[in-house]
């Protein structure tokens, strides 16, 4: 897509040339060249960890590139800090919002653009300007509301307002829809189109191909720190993009035999959870999983999936409801904890291995028994039987091909995929009756994904009950025997694995058609 | 005899303008008169006392004078380890064959300055600020009150102690606050026996335009015109004598009591306060001195029975 | 518990993998120490004295003769106990600044045990009772901050600081109003009888041909050494230690693993407080034979420096506490020999060690990583870099 | 107690709470920016020493104050370098600074002046003298208003008034200026400040330097206004009481004033209460009064009287690239 020869074209709004960036051992961006035309919506897709956020953070001056240069409207600019980027007309909405929660909307918008060393004058100006922006883009929000109290959708709006308030000509959005319902996402896209039509440039990062196809004019694909191609959206297909993303043809379906479910292993009834602030996180959840069955939970992040896993695994106490494991009642509202749940055969692969599943500062062998460290096999009275622990770890490393095969290595020194395998090996090898799995393939490369998927199917075929939570609808659809959809802490529907992405998406947004299985009370069947 | 004297000051340091400085003055006098050098050491915390004494003894210093009652335990221990070395301790009795214990009749000196305070007071209210609340300091207070009552039986005496730990010797802010609170209650003369804390008392008196009375060393010069007089405790003589006695082979052990009679306590009159002390005051105080020395006036010693007949 | 999770091990682990152990645990601490001493030397120069002379006296005073060695070990005993106390809390992700107060209150236990028994039983009966009492009192003083941290999320750094002051007020009140015999000039208990005098190690050192004179080093030294071993075993060889470290590194993962951070926080602080409390044995029953005001004399804070220098490992702590013992003993000699240098110099050094080994621990690391990288360039990459799946 | 004694106790409370107010406000700037500071005590001590030494040597209160501020800011910069630039542990750095200050002040004081760590008594010119307000003597005998004006309002030194004025000033800075907005923001979410194009490092450095200035004034007050010279360990835990007051006030300027006055009052009462017994309670040990601020703070921290939530980013070094 070299257009350099055609002199008649205006220079691109943004041009990145030879950008290179490493974080210690991780080479996040490799020699990146990218041109983004003025008044276009430019998508950037790529797997987790491909380097998308890093690249945009460099453009925004948040990180400094090790090499390379940035040109804006044809002129080279030196972007040392976000300040420079803002001055150059770039605004960015980060993947993790950059808001000061105890501040009001107005204060957040003003921060860094106060218009003088005293606040009084700036406040009046900002209020007026906010009203104007609200009117022109239908970005309604109460300027005096405290940001921490607002729902994420509104918080994102504030981020956009922040950028526009600073006069951004180019707006970068990093995975803006991860936290939005499809309807909210559609509203966002309308705003983006409107911005483009007013001559602004938009860069949209996502790894959801549907969104790319729906809203962008051009799309660049990143893989392992490189831009592998830039295409006109109209001239490509999701399949082509997916192939570029992972570097080979992808088989999104997993080969598996039909399930032959046995007796109910996990039986959840009327499970309700209210958090410390009194917000209902789980609302009367009922379902069951039978032996030899994988049940997938689909839903937008933050609709209660995490809490569901945490309650069933004993990490969090439910407010009311009952859970039976293999027919035995468990006191999920009182005495149970993670270690009791394990003892009755509930294993848990948590969604976030760094935060929860591993103590990364431990040696690998210590993590290989995390949660099972009170098992007699590893103990000698109050003492740890280190030999037994290490033997056990070595065996698992071999079995799961965890590399490097050194069980005394600190866990933080293993790559993401291998860390995930450490967790999976630990939990699966207990041969649990019930396996709770959250985001099993997040940040894991394609080879490992296949391995993990096969392991899960094998466990199912061996008679385990598996509850699978994933943001990847493809993963849910290809692994699950049944799919439950969660929205707002409730189960809003049940579908078979053949349900279309559109159908599930509508349910996830809470706008699905009436579903007999989802009526409150009875378990879906 | 050959002497190689050493002195261990108490916390507060040798230039504390008070107790330790008196000891320093005595040692300096010995040096300038005899030309014999001495060594000294300022302890900064409790664990150092014993070590310092032992260090001097090990290095062959003799005699070794320890200043202050808090050194008693250390002297007791080290004197036993070095029975051939001569030790002296100020303000405390250590009963060992090689230790001389020098104690003062602070009540007598305090009695005299109590009289002066009562005579100088226009309000009929005077004050006392002590350092750490120990019997020794109550002894000062008791003598002071007795003297004041001898002049004016109706006089009101406010008494405060700065604290109950060693920190009370070194808290001029608190000393100043205590003095201020006494001034606020109407006192116009305050006597301090509080080491470093006392400097705060003297300062407060100077700031408020009231009178103060110094202690141990002559402190009249610190705020001329405000310091009415100072109760002298001749620690300098005690140190000088200890050095000298050994040099002249006149060393004696046992308890040495230094009262008015032995010129061990007294009151200071110099160019800084001569305008404050009238002839009448001076003659009354001198008369009382004589009465005490002759035994006609008995000043009660608080430490003899832990009570004070007046308050 | 976010507030309390700022303990040094969490910091230290950031880029640890990039350096081999011998640099990480030996060269780097030495570099930090060297920096602290260099700055201290400048301070000595600043008051017009010769730093080399000062170092000579310091070394001679602490190691040059029997009594010096005895004193060095006596002080080291204190610091070993308080250092271990700080370290155990570190491993649980807690910063226990309250060692000073816990040792102080531990001393109350020692004092009461001694006062109750010294006239009736020999020392070896009083001794275990006093150890137990010290541990219980010290642990009790750590309990409230621990409970507040665990249950109510109160920042343990702040609460332990507050508890140091409360301990001090409490002990002064008890000593002045209740424990001091009438007529005494000093707020301190009566001197104990032989039944509460711990045996000094003079005889033992004499066997080795060392005359330690009046140095009060006593059998508490063995208690401290035993505590080093026990803490090592506890932290790295027991299930409880595993749980403590898990909570210290990652409380969320600990909950996931069925470990209760509440329980571990409390247990770790109790152990920490008990270790600090036992320190009181050394000065009270080994040196002064009475309970005095402020007998801890900052040893609780020295424990922080010792634990940081010793990287929260018992071996490191033993070495660091001997170093600080040398500083304290040598510093006393130094103050004696060079009047212009007061003992406060060691407080300055202590501050600098905490600064360089603790707060600035990352200052030299990048340099060492770069240097080590240059040195190993071209060789096979270390195992840590092996490619993953 | 009659009215006059009440006034006098309050007067004393004001004098005693001044160093607390200054130090707590110092802590407010630093901690609001996300840099925890348990080194208030050390900076105050260094300030007190430098002020006492310079005041004695130069015979000028202004020179003393300048030296006090300089010394305190010096230590503040050490803290800033360790915790901002080197991203070290802020608690450890604070502990180190307390040790450094305790050691250096005693060491230098001892080496220079040989008075057991004290500085020489200051001449009148080396101290801040109390200012008598116009008409104070005239109205003194007017009932109620008279003593309030003559004792409580008039007759303090300039640093007392400075400390009291520093409270509304701080409120204004924190809530009404751009710097204040950014200060509050950086203590809650430094990344938000960073992405808004503001330098987190420079912002925090400024906050910590201001903290140093205030601590320096607090220390100077102790040695060259409240008393006439420096004494070893002069702060005697006031820095920690100030920290307690800051927490008690939940990091807000006006409540800081209230908490400091309360703690000052406790101290003033403790000084006067020796041996006095309270009706119904009996004799209150002085130590109890001394421990009360700490006990109250612990109770507050326990959440039994309100909840003290520190700035969210406090104590955590801001790390952009791992
Ligand atoms: N601040 C950082 N310090 C160190 N490494 C980082 C940092 N930020 C990102 N990385 C690493 O750089 C690589 C690229 O990360 P980046 O966040 O740019 O990916 P991404 O494409 O945005 O992924 P995702 O879809 O998960 O957001 C990853 O290996 C990541 O772990
Ligand atoms: N903190 C670290 N210290 C040392 N080495 C590290 C560190 N983090 C990662 N590495 C090494 O860098 C390499 C790349 O890490 P990264 O997480 O990017 O792997 P990856 O290519 O994404 O692998 P996977 O697909 O398994 O996730 C790994 O082999 C790992 O051992
Ligand atoms: Mg990203
Ligand atoms: Mg990876």
Contact indicator for B78, B66 with CB cutoff of 8 Å: no
Within 6 Å (CB) of ligand 2, which residues are found?
Answer: A 25-26, 49, 412-418, 444-445; C 17, 384-385, 387-389
d(CA D115, CA D113): 6
Is D102 within 8 Å of chain B by CB?
A: no
d(CA A490, CA A505): 15
Contact indicator for D48, D235 with CB cutoff of 8 Å: yes
Q: Residue B130 forms beta bridges with which residues?
A: B161, B193
pLDDT above 80 for C306: yes
Q: Is residue B232 helix, strand or coil?
A: strand
Task: Establish if D319 belongs to a structural domain.
Answer: no
Task: Establish if A333 belongs to a structural domain.
Answer: yes
For B111-139, what is the mean pLDDT?
93
Is the pLDDT higher at C226 or at A521?
C226
Contacts of A6 (CB under 8 A, 6+ apart): none
Per the structure, how many domains does chain A have?
A: 3
Q: Above pLDDT 90, what percent of chain A?
A: 45
Task: Establish if A350 belongs to a structural domain.
Answer: no
**Angle of CA points D135, D139, D141, to nearest 5°:** 150
In this structure, are A448 and A506 located in the same domain?
A: yes
Is C143 within 8 Å of chain D by CB?
A: no
The residue whose C-alpha atom lies closest to atom 2 belonging to ligand 2 is A413
pLDDT above 60 for C387: no
In this structure, are A400 and A298 located in the same domain?
A: no
A positions 330-369 inside 8 Å of C (CB):
337-342, 348, 350, 355-362, 366
- D251: closest CA of chain C, how far (Å): 14
- For A464-482, write each residue's pLDDT tens digit: 999 999 877 788 888 999 9
Return mean pLDDT, chain D: 89
For C166-171, what is the mean pLDDT?
93
pLDDT at position D270? 79
Among the bound ligands, name the one nearest to the CA of residue A29. Answer: 1
- The domain of A448 spans 251-345+432-525
pLDDT at position D306? 65
| Band of pLDDT at residue A3, cut at 50, 70 and 90 | very low
Residue where the block lists tokens 């043809």: A249
Poorest-confidence range of A133-147, A311-325, A418-432, C222-236? Answer: A133-147
Contact indicator for C321, C83 with CB cutoff of 8 Å: yes
Task: For residue C336, give the nearest of B41, B47, B92 by CB distance.
Answer: B41
pLDDT above 80 for D282: no
Task: Establish if D311 belongs to a structural domain.
Answer: no
Instruction: Report chain A residues whose CB lies below 8 A from the CB of D191.
Output: 94, 96, 98
Query: Which atom in ligand 2 lies closest to the alpha carbon of residue C389?
Result: 26
Q: Is residue A201 helix, strand or coil?
A: strand
- For C322-341, write each residue's pLDDT tens digit: 999 999 899 888 888 887 88
In this structure, are A416 and A284 located in the same domain?
A: no
In this structure, are A323 and A282 located in the same domain?
A: yes
d(CA A116, CA D151): 42
CATH number at residue D240: 1.10.3470
In this structure, are A462 and A416 located in the same domain?
A: no
pLDDT above 50 for B156: yes
| Paired tokens of B282 | 């001076």
- Among the candidates A385, A414, A430, a domain finishes at A430
Contact indicator for A450, A361 with CB cutoff of 8 Å: no
pLDDT at position D140? 75
Task: Establish if D320 belongs to a structural domain.
Answer: no
Shortest CA distance to A120 belongs to which of B14, D180, C317? D180
Task: Establish if A3 belongs to a structural domain.
Answer: no
Query: Which atom in ligand 1 lies closest to the alpha carbon of residue D319?
Result: 1
- Which letter, b or e, does each residue of C315-352 get, where b requires 16 or more Cβ atoms within 10 Å of its Cβ? ebbbbbbbbbbbbbbbbbbbbbbbeebbbbbbbbbbbb
| Band of pLDDT at residue A445, cut at 50, 70 and 90 | low
| Paired tokens of B46 | 């409790």
- Which letter, b or e, does each residue of A149-187 get, where b requires 16 or more Cβ atoms within 10 Å of its Cβ? ebeeebbbbbbbbbbbbbebbbbbbbbbbbbbbbebbbb
Shortest CA distance to B176 belongs to which of D228, D61, D49? D228
Q: Residue A92 forms beta bridges with which residues?
A: A172
pLDDT at position C122? 95
Poorest-confidence range of B39-48, B129-138, C264-273? Answer: B39-48
- Among the candidates A387, A407, A430, a domain finishes at A430
Report the residue of C9, C87, C162 to disrupt the D interface, i.e. the one with the largest count of D CBs within 10 Å: C162
For B91-97, what is the mean pLDDT?
92
CATH number at residue A335: 3.40.50.300
Q: Is the CB of A176 under 6 A from ligand 1?
A: no
Task: Establish if A2 belongs to a structural domain.
Answer: no
d(CA A74, CA A403): 46
Q: Is the full-model pTM beyond 0.90?
A: no
- D90: closest CA of chain C, how far (Å): 7
- Give chains near C: 3+ CB pairs under 8 A: A, B, D
Q: Is A385 exposed, middle or buried (0-12, 13-18, 19+ CB in 10 A)?
A: middle
Task: Establish if A352 belongs to a structural domain.
Answer: no
Return mean pLDDT, chain B: 91
- Among the candidates A246, A265, A299, a domain finishes at A246
d(CA A356, CA A471): 18
Q: Is the CB of A51 under 6 A from ligand 1?
A: yes
Contacts of A459 (CB under 8 A, 6+ apart): A428, A435, A466
In this structure, are A134 and A19 located in the same domain?
A: yes
Is C348 within 8 Å of chain B by CB?
A: no
Contacts of B154 (CB under 8 A, 6+ apart): B124
Shortest CA distance to D2 belongs to which of D132, D147, D137? D147
**In testing the pocket of ligand 1, which one of A20, A22, A28 has its CB within 8 Å of the most ligand atoms?**
A28
pLDDT at position A5? 45
- The domain of D154 spans 3-303
CB atoms within 10 A of CB B95: 10
DSSP code string of B58-123: HTT-BSEEE-SGGGHHHHHHHHHH-TTS-EEEESS----TTEEEEEE-HHHHHHHHHHHHHHH-SS
CA of A443 to the centre of ligand 4 (A): 5
Query: Which atom in ligand 2 lies closest to the alpha carbon of residue C387?
Result: 29
Is C148 within 8 Å of chain D by CB?
A: yes
In this structure, are A397 and A449 located in the same domain?
A: no
Task: For residue B173, give the nearest of D5, D227, D286 by CB distance.
Answer: D227
**In testing the pocket of ligand 1, which one of A25, A52, A208, A416 has its CB within 8 Å of the most ligand atoms?**
A52
Poorest-confidence range of C227-241, C360-374, D221-235? Answer: C360-374
CB atoms within 10 A of CB C147: 17
Is D194 within 8 Å of chain A by CB?
A: yes
Task: For residue C360, give the nearest of D82, D294, D316 by CB distance.
Answer: D82
Strands A67-72, A75-77: pairing is antiparallel
- C202: closest CA of chain B, how far (Å): 14
Instruction: Report chain A residues whose CB lies below 8 A from the CB of C238.
Output: 382-384
The answer, yes or no, to whether the previous bond of C367 is cis (omega within 30 of 0) is no
- For D63-90, write each residue's pLDDT tens digit: 999 999 999 999 999 999 999 999 998 9
**Angle of CA points A100, A105, A109, to nearest 5°:** 80
Q: Is B178 within 8 Å of D114 when comparing Cβ atoms?
A: no
Q: Is D185 within 8 Å of A111 when comparing Cβ atoms?
A: yes
- Rounded to the nearest angstrom, the gap between the alpha carbon of residue C95 and the centroid of all alpha carbons in its chain is 13
pLDDT above 70 for A521: no
In this structure, are A230 and A316 located in the same domain?
A: no
**Angle of CA points C57, C60, C65, to nearest 5°:** 145
In this structure, are A273 and A375 located in the same domain?
A: no
pLDDT above 90 for A451: no
Task: Establish if D280 belongs to a structural domain.
Answer: yes
Instruction: Report chain B residues whose CB lies below 8 A from the CB of C60.
Output: none
Q: Residue A380 forms beta bridges with which residues?
A: A383
pLDDT above 70 for A4: no
Contact indicator for C278, C81 with CB cutoff of 8 Å: yes
- For A234-255, write each residue's pLDDT tens digit: 998 877 887 787 665 555 567 7
| Band of pLDDT at residue C388, cut at 50, 70 and 90 | very low
Per the structure, how many domains does chain D have?
A: 1
Query: Which atom in ligand 1 lies closest to the alpha carbon of residue D320?
Result: 1
Task: Establish if A442 belongs to a structural domain.
Answer: yes
Strands A482-487, A465-469: pairing is unpaired
Using CA atoms of C188, C194, C195, C198 in order, give the dihedral in degrees to the nearest 10.
Answer: 80
d(CA A417, CA A423): 10
- B120: closest CA of chain C, how far (Å): 32
- For A175-204, write each residue's pLDDT tens digit: 887 667 667 788 889 889 999 998 999 999
Contact indicator for B148, B114 with CB cutoff of 8 Å: yes
Task: Establish if A1 belongs to a structural domain.
Answer: no
In this structure, are A219 and A292 located in the same domain?
A: no
For A401-428, what is the mean pLDDT?
86
Strands B6-9, B39-42: pairing is parallel
- B216: closest CA of chain C, how far (Å): 18
Q: Is A339 within 8 Å of C259 when comparing Cβ atoms?
A: yes
Task: For residue D285, give the nearest of C177, C355, C360 by CB distance.
Answer: C177
Shortest CA distance to A168 belongs to which of A98, A111, A91? A91
Task: Establish if A231 belongs to a structural domain.
Answer: yes
The answer, yes or no, to whether the previous bond of A404 is cis (omega within 30 of 0) is yes
Contacts of C30 (CB under 8 A, 6+ apart): none
Poorest-confidence range of A319-328, A437-446, B123-132, C321-330? Answer: A437-446
- For D165-190, write each residue's pLDDT tens digit: 999 999 999 999 999 999 999 999 99
Is C354 within 8 Å of chain D by CB?
A: yes
d(CA B27, CA B40): 9
| Paired tokens of C189 | 């208990």
| ipTM > 0.85 (yes/no) | no
Q: Is C186 within 8 Å of B51 when comparing Cβ atoms?
A: no
H or E segment at A289? strand A280-290
For A247-273, what is the mean pLDDT?
79
In this structure, are A380 and A441 located in the same domain?
A: no
Query: Which atom in ligand 2 lies closest to the alpha carbon of residue A416?
Result: 27
Q: Residue C242 forms beta bridges with which residues?
A: none
- For C4-33, write each residue's pLDDT tens digit: 333 333 333 333 346 777 887 788 888 988
pLDDT at position C18? 64
| Band of pLDDT at residue D1, cut at 50, 70 and 90 | low
d(CA B215, CA B157): 18
Contact indicator for B225, B205 with CB cutoff of 8 Å: no
Strands A490-495, A482-487: pairing is antiparallel
In this structure, are A216 and A123 located in the same domain?
A: yes
pLDDT at position C385? 38
- For A303-334, write each residue's pLDDT tens digit: 888 899 999 999 999 999 999 999 999 999 98
C220-237 helix and C239-249 helix, angle to the nearest 10 degrees: 70
CB atoms within 10 A of CB B39: 17
């Amino acid at each position: 897509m070299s257009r350099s020869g055609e002199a008649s074209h205006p220079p691109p709004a943004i041009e990145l040339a030879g950008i290179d960036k490493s974080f210690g051992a991780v080479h996040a961006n490799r020699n990146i060249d990218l041109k983004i035309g003025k008044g276009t919506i430019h998508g950037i897709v790529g797997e987790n960890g491909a380097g998308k956020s890093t690249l945009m953070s460099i453009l925004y001056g948040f990180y400094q590139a090790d090499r390379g240069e940035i040109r804006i409207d044809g002129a080279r600019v030196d972007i040392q800090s976000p300040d420079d980027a803002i001055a150059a007309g770039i605004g960015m909405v980060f993947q993790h919002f950059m808001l000061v929660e105890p501040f009001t909307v107005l204060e957040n918008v003003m921060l860094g653009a106060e218009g003088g060393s005293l606040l009084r004058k700036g406040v009046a100006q900002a209020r007026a300007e906010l009203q104007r922006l609200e009117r022109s883009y239908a970005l309604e929000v109460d300027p005096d509301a405290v940001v921490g109290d607002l729902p994420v959708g509104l918080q994102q709006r504030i981020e956009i307002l922040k950028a526009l308030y600073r006069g951004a000509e180019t707006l970068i959005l990093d995975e803006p829809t991860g936290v939005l319902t499809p309807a909210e996402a559609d509203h966002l896209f309308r705003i983006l189109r409107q911005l483009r039509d007013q001559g602004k440039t938009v860069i949209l990062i996502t790894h959801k191909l549907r969104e790319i196809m729906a809203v962008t004019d051009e799309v660049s694909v990143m893989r392992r720190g490189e831009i592998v191609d830039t295409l006109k959206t109209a001239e490509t297909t999701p399949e082509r993009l997916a192939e570029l993303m992972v570097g080979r043809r992808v088989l999104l379906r997993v080969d598996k035999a039909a399930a032959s479910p046995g007796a109910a292993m996990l039986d959840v009834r009327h499970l309700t959870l209210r958090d410390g602030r009194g917000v209902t996180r789980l609302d009367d959840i009922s379902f069951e999983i039978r032996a030899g069955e994988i049940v997938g939970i689909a839903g937008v992040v933050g609709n209660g999936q995490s809490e569901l896993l945490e309650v069933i695994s004993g990490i969090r106490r439910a407010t009311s409801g009952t859970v039976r494991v293999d027919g035995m009642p468990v006191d999920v509202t009182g005495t149970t904890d993670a270690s009791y749940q394990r003892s009755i055969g509930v294993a848990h692969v948590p969604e976030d291995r760094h935060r929860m599943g591993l103590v990364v500062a431990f040696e690998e062998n210590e993590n290989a028994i995390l949660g099972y460290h009170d098992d007699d096999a590893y103990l000698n009275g109050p003492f740890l039987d280190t030999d037994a622990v290490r033997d056990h770890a070595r065996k698992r490393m071999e079995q799961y091909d965890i590399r490097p095969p050194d069980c005394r290595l600190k866990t933080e020194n293993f790559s993401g995929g291998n860390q995930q395998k450490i967790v999976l090996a630990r939990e699966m090898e207990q041969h649990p009756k019930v396996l709770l799995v959250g985001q099993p393939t997040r940040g894991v490369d394609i080879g490992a994904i296949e391995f993990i998927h096969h392991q899960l199917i094998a466990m199912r075929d061996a008679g385990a009950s598996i509850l699978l939570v994933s943001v990847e609808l493809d993963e849910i659809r290809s692994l699950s025997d049944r799919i439950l959809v969660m929205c707002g802490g409730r189960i809003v529907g049940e579908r078979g694995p053949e349900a279309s992405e559109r159908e599930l998406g509508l349910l996830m947004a809470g706008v699905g058609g009436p579903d007999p299985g989802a009526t409150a009370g009875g378990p879906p069947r | 005899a050959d002497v190689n004297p050493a002195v261990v000051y108490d916390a507060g340091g040798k230039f504390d303008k008070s107790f330790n400085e008196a000891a320093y003055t005595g040692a300096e006098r010995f040096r300038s008169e005899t030309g014999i050098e001495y060594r000294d050491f300022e302890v900064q915390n409790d664990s150092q006392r014993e070590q310092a004494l032992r260090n001097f003894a090990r290095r062959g210093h003799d005699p070794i004078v320890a200043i202050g009652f808090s050194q008693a335990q250390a002297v007791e221990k080290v004197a036993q380890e070095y029975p051939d070395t001569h030790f002296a301790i100020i303000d405390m009795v250590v009963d060992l064959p090689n230790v001389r214990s020098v104690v003062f009749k602070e009540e007598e000196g305090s009695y005299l300055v109590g009289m002066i305070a009562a005579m100088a007071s226009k309000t009929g209210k005077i004050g006392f600020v002590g350092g750490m609340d120990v019997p020794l300091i109550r002894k000062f207070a008791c003598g002071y009150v007795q003297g004041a009552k001898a002049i004016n039986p109706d006089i009101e005496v406010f008494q405060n102690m700065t604290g109950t730990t060693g920190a009370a010797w070194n808290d001029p802010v608190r000393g100043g606050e205590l003095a201020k609170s006494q001034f606020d209650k109407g006192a116009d003369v305050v006597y301090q026996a509080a080491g470093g804390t006392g400097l705060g008392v003297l300062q407060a008196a100077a700031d408020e335009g009231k009178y103060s009375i110094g202690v141990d060393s002559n402190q009249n010069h610190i705020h001329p015109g405000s310091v009415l007089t100072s109760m002298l405790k001749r620690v300098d003589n005690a140190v000088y004598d200890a050095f000298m006695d050994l040099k002249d082979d006149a060393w004696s052990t046992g308890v040495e009591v230094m009262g008015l009679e032995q010129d061990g306590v007294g009151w200071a009159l110099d160019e800084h306060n001569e305008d404050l002390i009238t002839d009448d005051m001076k003659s009354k105080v001198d008369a009382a001195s004589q009465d005490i020395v002759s035994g006609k006036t008995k000043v009660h010693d608080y430490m003899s029975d832990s009570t004070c007949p007046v308050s | 518990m976010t507030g309390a999770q700022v303990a040094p091990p969490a910091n230290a682990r950031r880029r640890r993998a990039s350096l081999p152990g011998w640099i990480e645990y030996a060269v780097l601490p030495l570099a930090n120490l060297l920096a602290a001493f260099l700055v201290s030397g400048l301070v000595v120069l600043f008051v017009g004295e010769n730093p080399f002379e000062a170092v000579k006296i310091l070394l001679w005073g602490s190691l040059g003769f029997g009594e010096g060695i005895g004193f060095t070990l006596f002080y080291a005993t204190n610091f070993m106990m308080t250092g271990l106390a700080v370290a155990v809390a570190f491993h649980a992700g807690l910063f226990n600044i309250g060692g000073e107060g816990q040792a102080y209150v531990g001393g109350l236990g020692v004092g009461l045990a001694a006062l109750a028994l010294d006239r009736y039983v020999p020392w070896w009966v009083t001794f275990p009772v006093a150890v137990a009492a010290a541990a219980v009192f010290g642990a009790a003083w750590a309990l409230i901050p621990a409970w507040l941290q665990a249950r109510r999320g109160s920042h343990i750094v702040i609460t332990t600081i507050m508890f140091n002051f409360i301990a001090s007020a409490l002990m002064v009140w008890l000593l002045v109003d209740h424990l001091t015999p009438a007529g005494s000039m000093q707020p301190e208990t009566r001197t104990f009888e032989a039944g509460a005098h711990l045996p000094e190690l003079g005889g033992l050192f004499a066997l080795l041909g060392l005359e330690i004179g009046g140095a009060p080093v006593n059998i508490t030294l063995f208690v401290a050494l035993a505590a080093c071993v026990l803490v090592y075993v506890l932290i790295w060889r027991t299930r409880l230690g595993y749980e403590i470290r898990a909570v210290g590194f990652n409380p969320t993962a600990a909950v996931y693993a069925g470990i209760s951070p509440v329980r571990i926080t409390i247990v770790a602080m109790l152990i920490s407080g008990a270790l600090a409390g036992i320190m009181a044995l050394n000065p009270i029953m080994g040196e002064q034979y009475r309970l005095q005001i402020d007998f801890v004399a900052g040893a609780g804070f020295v424990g922080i420096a010792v634990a940081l220098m010793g990287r929260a490992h018992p071996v490191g702590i033993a070495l660091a506490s001997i170093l600080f013992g040398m500083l304290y003993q040598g510093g006393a000699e130094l103050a004696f020999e060079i009047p212009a240098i007061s003992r406060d110099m060691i407080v300055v050094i202590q501050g600098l060690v905490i600064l360089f080994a603790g707060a600035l621990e990352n200052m030299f690391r990048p340099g060492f990583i770069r240097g080590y990288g240059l040195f190993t360039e071209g060789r096979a990459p270390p195992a840590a870099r092996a490619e993953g799946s | 107690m009659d009215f006059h004694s009440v006034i006098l106790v309050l007067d004393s409370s004001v004098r005693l709470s001044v160093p607390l107010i200054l130090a707590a406000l110092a802590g407010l700037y630093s901690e609001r920016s996300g840099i925890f500071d348990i080194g208030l005590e050390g900076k105050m001590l260094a300030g007190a020493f430098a002020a006492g030494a310079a005041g004695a040597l130069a015979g000028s209160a202004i020179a003393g104050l300048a030296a006090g501020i300089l010394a305190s800011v010096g230590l503040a910069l050490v803290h800033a370098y360790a915790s901002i630039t080197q991203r070290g542990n802020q608690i450890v750095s604070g502990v180190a600074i307390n040790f450094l200050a305790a050691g250096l002040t005693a060491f230098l004081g001892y080496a220079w002046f040989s008075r057991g760590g004290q500085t020489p008594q200051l001449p009148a010119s080396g101290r801040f003298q109390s200012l008598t307000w116009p008409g104070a003597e005239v109205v003194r005998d007017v009932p109620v208003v008279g003593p309030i004006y003559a004792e409580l309002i008039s007759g303090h030194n300039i640093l007392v008034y400075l400390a009291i004025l520093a409270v509304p000033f701080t409120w204004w800075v924190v809530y009404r200026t751009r710097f204040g907005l950014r200060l509050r923001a950086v203590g809650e979410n430094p990344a938000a400040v960073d992405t808004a194009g503001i330098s987190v490092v420079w912002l925090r450095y400024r906050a910590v330097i201001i903290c140093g200035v205030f601590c320096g004034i607090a220390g100077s007050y102790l040695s060259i206004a409240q008393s006439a010279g420096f004494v070893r360990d002069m702060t005697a835990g006031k820095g920690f009481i100030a920290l307690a007051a800051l927490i008690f006030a939940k990091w807000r300027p006006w409540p800081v004033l209230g908490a400091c006055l309360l703690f000052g009052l406790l101290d003033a009462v403790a000084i006067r209460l020796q041996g006095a017994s309270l009706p119904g309670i009996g004799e209150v040990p002085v130590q109890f009064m001394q421990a009360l601020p700490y006990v109250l703070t612990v109770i507050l921290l326990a959440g039994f009287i309100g909840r003290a939530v520190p700035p969210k980013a406090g104590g955590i070094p801001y790390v952009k690239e791992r």
